[in-house]
Chain A
Amino acid sequence: MKRHQDSPADRLARGLGRIGLAPGRARLAAPGAARRTRASVTVNRPRDAVYAYWRDFTRLPLFMDHLESVETLDGARTHWTARAPGKGTVEWDAELVRDDENALIAWRSTGEPAVGNTGTVRFTDAPAGRGTEVRVDLAHDPPGGRAGVALARLLGEHPTQQVRDDLRRFKQILETGEVVRSDGSPEGVRATRQARQRPGRPLPGRPLPAAGAAGAAGAAGVAGAAGEGATA
């Protein structure tokens, strides 16, 4: 493979890595190369149920940590809003490019190329009633412009870990009906929280709304509020 000369972004990334602010190993991709992230999980539910949950893109923010919302524009097109590091958001439109019922869903961004990204998720039966194997393959274009850099950083310094955490939450929701929370990790599975736990003691005050809103909507409500209360 041809060696690329260091771009300024590469040098910045390496510098940040040296002072412990990452990206470290998962450095920003060389110019022209899309960055790919793969992860998988086994969910103890039938394939049609697992597929159906993912197929409703508006539910992705319930388990994808960096997403704020996904709205349906029409049958095949969606509008995605992601939290940018620091303040603000990044937005883009996406279209469904393939939908094989109970087997595969693929999407790609449209419009502004700076936030170019694609995703594929495959669903297969795990052997002998062990549920459904879910395999995710994400790719996004190399950073270009402010929004592109922000998108690259959304997937974080450890993108594989982040996608695995997303899949862990996906599994928790499908198997238990909720995102699992503890006093040390009140917002649930989150890569950054693994390194910066709050003490394993109850949260101060009553920062959380009463639980009880059923199912996924409840999980979303608690997730938002727990994020507020967890900055202690």
Chain B
Amino acid sequence: MKAICWAGRNAVEVADVPDPAILTARDAIVRVTATSICGSDLHLYDGYIPTVRKGDVLGHEFMGEVVDVGAQVRDLRVGDRVVVPFPIACGHCWACEHDLYSVCENSNPNAALAETFMGHGLAGIFGYSHMLGGYAGGQAEYVRVPFADVGPIRVEDDLADEQVLFLSDVLPTGWMAAENCDIRPGDTIAVWGAGPVGQFAAASAFIQGAERVIVIDRVPARLDRTRAYTGAETLDHEDVDVLDALRDMTAGRGPDACVDAVGMEAHHPTGPIHAFDRAKQALRRATERPHALREAIMACRGGGTVSVVGVYGGAIDTFPMGPLMNRSLTLRAGQCHVQRYLAPLLDRIRDGEIDPSFVVSHRMSLDEAPRGYELLKHERDKCNKIILRP
């Protein structure tokens, strides 16, 4: 089959790889009808996630049709149309029983590797390094889906792929980012990052009762799309001092909660600070450029919450621990526990409360993925979200 494989830093290739087969009785095989490139795939592309290897099949946002099931799969049948969550979860460990699917204790066969980097193991994730399981990803014609009864959600035919595909990651990730803010009436929520996750965080914050949402980025096309589809106000951090602007917009209070939907490769408007972080990252002396997180902590009102869904891979420098501690901030974070949100968010899509397809800017074939990665990385051609159709 055809698949998109990591070929080294800044390189992906369309490769011919073997078709996946059922490995255990709880597996299913899915024929992919739509998949997408995630901003977090760029962290792999840029070479900042440890334990990625040449030849790994990428992709963790995908949906399709079930074409084979193992003998112990009860809830799925051949022919079902499913969306597959990016974290692989067993459904039976303590973490899964407490809806903490992305820290499933069983789904990562390489948990010992993850322990080395992360202290404890993490769930396996499709196409996202060997530390996270070494699972082949979804930017391919077929995917093996372990624990098929636990992850995938069936969707009826009346909803288009573009409406439901993002249940696999970015929609629930944005929703969880907002949920972790514990939004109360009157709250102002600031969101760093106007990519699809930030856009969905903004939309979700309004649904969850925010009075006002302010989204911060530096790419005009993304800010335009964010204003047009979510109703949020926006700040271009290349034009304004974000801390001043937020203080002004909230009459000195600061946002009640701040979302970091950027993660480890942030940009900073002040050249020297960005250059310092960038140089350390390039030399692999630090793995992250945590500017958005630093700014979110500085901006947040006393007693507020900083919610992190942007991906980090390792350790960060110059973390503003003093402001966090002295101003009674709460830091909440996590890879999204997607399985928790699938059914309720599918209901909201069906009810027309949210139509996730607004994030799509490009539609391509699988063969065009290498160009897609370049477009997304360099924010060319108003690129926001790319859907690939095998």
Contacts and interface: CB of A to CB of B under 8 A. Distances in A.
Contact of B90 (A180, A204, A210, A218): A180
Contacts of B105: 44, 171, 175
A197 B137 CA distance: 16
Contacts of B5: 199, 201
Interface residues on B, range: 35 or more
A184 B135 contact: yes
A183 B106 contact: no
Interface string A81-122: 000000000000000000000000000000000000000000
Interface string B190-210: 000000000000000000000
B147 A185 contact: no
A176 B17 contact: no
Given A177-B72, A184-B134, A211-B71, A199 B23 contact: no
A181 B19 contact: no
Contact of B112 (A176, A179, A189, A214): A189
Of B19, B23, B55, B56, chain A has the most CB atoms within 10 Å of the CB of: B23
Interface in B113-131: 113, 124, 127, 129-130
A211 B22 contact: yes
Given A181-B109, A214-B72, A201 B57 contact: yes
Interface stretch (B91-99, B180-188, B251-259): B91-99
Contact of B18 (A185, A193, A203, A218): A203
B375 interface: no
B22 A176 contact: no
A176 B112 CA distance: 19
Nearest to A199: B55
B27 interface: yes
A182 B20 CA distance: 11
Contacts of A172: 90, 106
A116 to B, nearest CB: 28
Given A44-B93, A194-B113, A200 B71 contact: no
Contact of B109 (A188, A202, A203, A210): A188
Interface stretch (A30-38, A56-64, A140-148, A160-168): A160-168
Contacts of A25: none
B357 interface: no
A169 B254 CA distance: 49
Interface string B34-60: 000000000000000001011111000
Given A197-B110, A201-B5, A175 B92 contact: yes
Interface string A116-155: 0000000000000011000000000000000000000000
B263 interface: no
A45 B105 CA distance: 14
B13 to A, nearest CB: 12
B103 interface: no
B21 A206 contact: yes
Contacts of A164: 112
A70 interface: no
A191 B144 CA distance: 24
A208 interface: yes
A20 interface: no
A180 B70 contact: no
Contact of B111 (A42, A189, A198): A189
A197 B50 CA distance: 13
B63 interface: no
A65 interface: no
A161 B112 contact: yes
B25 A200 contact: no
B361 to A, nearest CB: 28
A8 interface: no
B54 A180 contact: no
State the 5 A-B residue pairs at the shortest beta-carbon distance, nearest first.
A184-B134, A212-B71, A199-B55, A200-B56, A185-B109
Interface of A: 42, 44, 130-131, 161, 164-165, 168, 171-172, 175-186, 188-189, 191, 193-194, 197-206, 208, 210-214, 218-219, 222, 226
26 contacts: A161-B112, A164-B112, A168-B111, A168-B112, A175-B90, A175-B92, A176-B26, A176-B92, A177-B25, A177-B26, A178-B24, A182-B109, A183-B136, A184-B56, A184-B110, A194-B110, A197-B130, A200-B56, A200-B135, A202-B17, A202-B18, A206-B21, A212-B71, A212-B72, A214-B71, A218-B24
